[in-house]
Structure 1
Amino acid sequence: MAPGRDHRPPITRPAPAPLLRSIPGLVRRRCGALLMTLLLLLGAAVPAVLAEDRNLRVAWSDQVPYQYLDQSDKRDAPTGIDLEVMREAARRAGLTMTFRYHPFGESLDLLARGDIDAVVGAYDSAERRAFTEVSVPYRLGLDRIFAPPDLLLEQTGSLADVVAQFRQQRLRLAVVADFDWGEAGRAAIDALRADGLVVDTDSLPQSISMVLGGRADAFVGDQLSGLALLSIWNAPQIAALPVVVQERGIHILFARDRLPAWKIQRFDAALQDMLDDGTVDRILQRFTNPLAIDAVFHGRTVELLFIIGIIAFSISGIVIARQGNYSIFGAFVLASLPALGGGVLRDVLLLRKLFFFESPEMIYTCLVTILMGYLFNRFLRAVRGRALWFFDLVNFFVRLRRRMNPRLALEFFDAIGLALFTVVAISITAEEGLAPLWFWGPLIGALTATGGAIMRDMIRSEAHNPILHTSFYGETAFLWGMLLAVFLQFAGPYASTDQILVAVIVCVLGIVLTRMSFVLFRIPTPRY
């Protein structure tokens, strides 16, 4: 053996058991997996917390057109003036919203407890300021008493006079119990309540139901909401009294203890910007313009105006057919084009279903008018000089027809059709929600009123088209239609039914008189 080499056997250690050998690695892997899980949970929780921090829980109630459920086009989403204003202001403020439906009184209780963050469409009061922060006012609330005409109430006087009439006639007033009616309104309701003449309800639809069901004689509520619900329920005979119960600003209420100050301040600043740049006005007009004009043009009224306009245009076609010795089919073409052609052009542009498909009586009216005109002329020829017992009457019509200038008769009936079709087209434009109404209303109105007459004159044998060359025709419809549309857009939301009716009558008379003045006095029209 070599010197200096250690011949001791090597020291051997027993190998660790497999379980003991794997403990450190297992712990590391388990800890890593646990840490990863915690990071994933934290990553998912942080955005949720941030999103919740920016979210507003908003309570809404059923109050057309301010708050309601839109079920058109297979949608099922809350909308209306208040909710659209809320959506846009939240978007500008960088906030999100969750809408929850609650009756208005219940919404106030939830707001006081902090179970929701905001309530839209509310009046400001000292009691509510005790637990809420109040936004700037963004629209006007106008409350009136609605009553059927058979109550025979005096249309003039103060709110106290109306209350005296209710007490004298023992009339019952349906009132939403949890609503703030203002100082004067509260005093009037308390006076009626003392005589047992108040019927408490939970909502405005229930108040209207009480009146329609005979359990109340009148109801009090917001003017636009009342008009909208009465239109939906086809009860136009119930109208708002001129007296105003209250007229105050509408606000959004925020839960003071629930929301941080920065949320309220950011939302209020966005809402003020919307008021300054006109966004709130545009939202208001989009929902209220159809209601304003529907207060007058309700249901059968529109159809009646349509029929009168069709008869007028059809008579103008009959005058042309008789003057030009046209056939019966030619008379139908000349009568139907001004009566129906403009409406067809309007519906095509607005992507609406053609109106005479849903209302075939329009075509029937045109046909009957032509047939009656033909038979009347034949009748006069047949009995002239033969039936002495009504000879004077027949002779009167014969002389009238001979002395009547066919051109003047044509212009007169054309003017009537022009006026009525302009007004009806403006109402349809408002229903379609085209904005601004002051521009699209008169434009669609003039197209509807003149389009058919222009086509009629284009197919006549005369090459000269008087509507396009010599007459102040479409200009009359456009200018007077613009005046009506401006009134409806800017004053219509808070105008009474009588005021809207007066505006419509002024528009119709203005078109007829202006048109006939240019014809009778041969006023030269502006040339290009």
Structure 2
Amino acid sequence: MVAFGLCLAWGPARAQAPLAIGWYSTAPFQSEGPAGLTGLDIEMVRAIAARAGHGLAFTRVAYPDLMQDVPAGRRDLASGIAWTAERAAAGRMSRAYRQDVNVLIQRRGGAGQPSAADAAGLLAQLRDSEFRIGVIEGFSYGDPALDAWLADPARGPRVRRSASDAANLRLLLAGEIDGFLAERLSAAALVAASANPRAVEENGSLRIRIPLHLMFSPRVPEATVAAFDAAIAALRADGTLDRIAVRFRAPVLLGLTLNSRWFFVLEVIGTVAAALAGYLAARSGRYSLFGGLVLALTAAVGGGVLRDLLVARHPIGVMSSPIYLQLVLGTVLLAYLVGRLNAALPRLPTGPTGGAWRERLFDLADAIGLGAFTVVGVAVAVGTAGPLWLWGPLLGAITGAGGGIIRDIIRGGGDVPNLKTGFYGEVAVIWSVILSFWLEWRSAVIEREEVLLAVVVTVVGGVLTRMALLRMRAPGLP
């Protein structure tokens, strides 16, 4: 009993109260969802605090207020803070635990956009132009001269200071600013969730890399800061911080492909090719113009609709913009007019199937649609489902081959060689597996340029594989 009493008396004396940490909402770093408070910064700080032997008590605070609360001792610490001389004097800064990459978000296709590569170059161009820029009140953008210029009240309406990236995005879409500075991942997540993600884009040249620290109140003992520094070093050495970064960084960065201009071009190519293949299939079966439109629509959007219903994606891709239906309608009408014109001209050499040129054109268009939509399916898996190694091939196959299979079911009355003995969906599976595993392998360090190269290789590989198999005419192939 005496020993038990001593333990009770000794325990509370040794217990440490959790540190009060403020957080501000900015996905994917700090945000609250169905699973509770999480994010790249939140999970990193939890891991660091656990290794240092401290608990944490989180409270949501606006960023400008947080930057006043920590030096004043109302909060013990904050995460995701760039080092400045003023902050180092007002509190205690840990060693850097991760790095931010700030970019400029601008209206797509806008004129007079900065072409600087770093903070110093951006400042030089801002001084010599009328570019209106948005920033977050109290943020540091990694360069003292740039921070001072942005904070100068003399800048007037050319510098808009807001409380969040979301507020800056609203100003940009309303035309009140020409661009705003934001962390690359948080900006990508914000833009992807907006009503019109293709209205804005990331400046292709500007990259401002900023080491980030934990900022402690002056009342926090130096020994505590030293314990956190040691924990950061240990977690960096054993790869824990890198693994956390991959978990949150890769889906957002890969998801940028869904809103890029070149990816939209890929969707257009796939839609037109699949619609043409559907119309040519209808033509070979002597369907009416309306029948040709039905088969073209089925081939062009059928796989995407199945995919979006499976993963509960909203809005369904084809409903997000009228451009897809317009492309199908335009392709069918143009093909119909060309067909009518061809009927009035001397006929081209035909094969036993009733038109060798038309058959080859159908095969090529169908293969292009298959290859392009396979990539679209994997990209959607990146943004809506996981793990990628499982859902990438599944959605790639459904998107790539689904429309063509539904088209053939309609025109074949249930006799679909592509499902029985053909090597059609298998092409989509093979190339979506290759793309998915490559994206998983490179996820920690991948850049957008690499994604573009991987997409081109996948599309070309899918098309060549399908055409080579058709050329071989191996037993069992259509």
* Interval containing the TM-score (normalised by the shorter chain): 0.7 to 0.9
Query: Within 2, Cα distance between the matches of 1:204 and 1:463?
Result: 48
Q: 1:438 to 1:363 in 2, by over 3 A?
A: same
Q: How far did residue 120 of structure 1 move?
A: 0.8
Post-superposition CA distance 1:362-385 (Å, at most 9, x none): 9978996998599669x73xxxxx
State whether structure 2 residue 145 is matched by structure 1 residue 187.
Answer: yes
- Tell me the distance in 2 between the aligned counterparts of 1:216 and 1:362: 28
Question: What pairs up with 1:1-40 in 2 under 5 angstroms?
Answer: none
Q: Within 5 Å, give how 1:63-462 maps onto structure 2.
A: 63-70=26-33, 73=34, 77-91=36-50, 95-130=54-89, 132-148=91-107, 149-153=109-113, 155=115, 159-182=119-142, 185-190=143-148, 193=152, 196=155, 197-233=158-194, 234=196, 236-244=198-206, 246-255=208-217, 257-259=219-221, 261=223, 265=227, 267-268=228-229, 271-272=232-233, 274-276=235-237, 278-298=239-259, 309-310=270-271, 312-323=273-284, 339=300, 342-343=303-304, 346=307, 350=311, 355=316, 380=340, 394-395=343-344, 399=348, 404-435=356-387, 437=388, 440-451=391-402, 453=404, 456=408, 459-460=414-415, 462=417
SS at match of 1:252: strand
Matched residue pairs, number? 459
Q: Under a length normalisation based on structure 2, what TM-score does the superposition of the two structures give?
A: 0.73
* Residue type at the aligned position of 1:179: F
Partner Cα distance (2:65, 2:50) in 1: 27
- Contact in 2 for aligned 1:144/1:220 (Cα 8 Å): yes
C-alpha separation in 1, matches of 2:141 and 2:320? 43
CA RMSD of aligned residues (A): 4.9
Give the direction of change, closer, same or farther, for the CA distance of 1:355–1:109 in structure 2 (3 Å limit). Answer: closer
> Is the Cα–Cα contact under 8 Å of residues 144 and 241 in structure 1 kept in the other structure?
yes
Partner-residue secondary structure (3-state), 1:116: coil
TM-superposed CA distance for 1:117, in Å, is 1.7
Distance 1:524 1:287, change over 3 A: farther
How far the C-alpha of 1:100 sits from its partner, in A, is 1.6
CA 329–201 in structure 1, closer or farther in 2 if over 3 Å, else same? closer
Matching residue's letter, 1:510 = V
Aligned 8 A contact 1:454 1:465 in 2: no
Matched to 1:186, the amino acid is P
Deviation at 1:354, TM superposition (A): 10
Cα distance 1:366–1:101, how it changes in 2: closer, same or farther (>3 A)? same
- Deviation digits for residues 381-401 of structure 1 (CA, Å, limit 9, x no counterpart): xxxxxxxxxx6x654595398
Structure 2: distance between partners of 1:462 and 1:213: 53
TM-score normalised by structure 1 residue count: 0.67
Q: Take 1:78 and 1:189, find their aligned partners in 2: how far apart are those partners?
A: 31
Alignment identity in percent? 25
Q: Distance in 2 between matches of 1:357 and 1:220?
A: 32
Residue aligned with 2:43, SS: helix
Task: Please list every run of 5 or more consecutive structure 2 residues that lacks an aligned counterpart in the other structure.
Answer: none
Report the counterpart of residue 490 of structure 1 in structure 2.
444
> Given the superposition, is the C-alpha separation of residues 432 and 285 from structure 1 closer, same or farther in structure 2, using an over 3 Å criterion?
farther
- Give the direction of change, closer, same or farther, for the CA distance of 1:331–1:232 in structure 2 (3 Å limit): closer
Answer yes or no: is 1:479 the counterpart of 2:439.
Answer: no
Structure 1 distance, partners of 2:461, 2:281, is 22
Provide the C-alpha distance between the structure 1 equivalents of 2:418 and 2:396, rounded to a whole number of angstroms.
26
**AA paired with 1:417?**
G
Q: How far apart, in 2, do the equivalents of 1:325 and 1:200 lie? A: 63
Query: Does the CA-based 8 Å contact 1:418-1:450 persist in structure 2?
Result: yes
Instruction: Check the 8 A contact 2:100/2:210 in 1, yes or no.
Output: yes
> Alignment partner for residue 468 of structure 2, among 498, 502, 518?
518
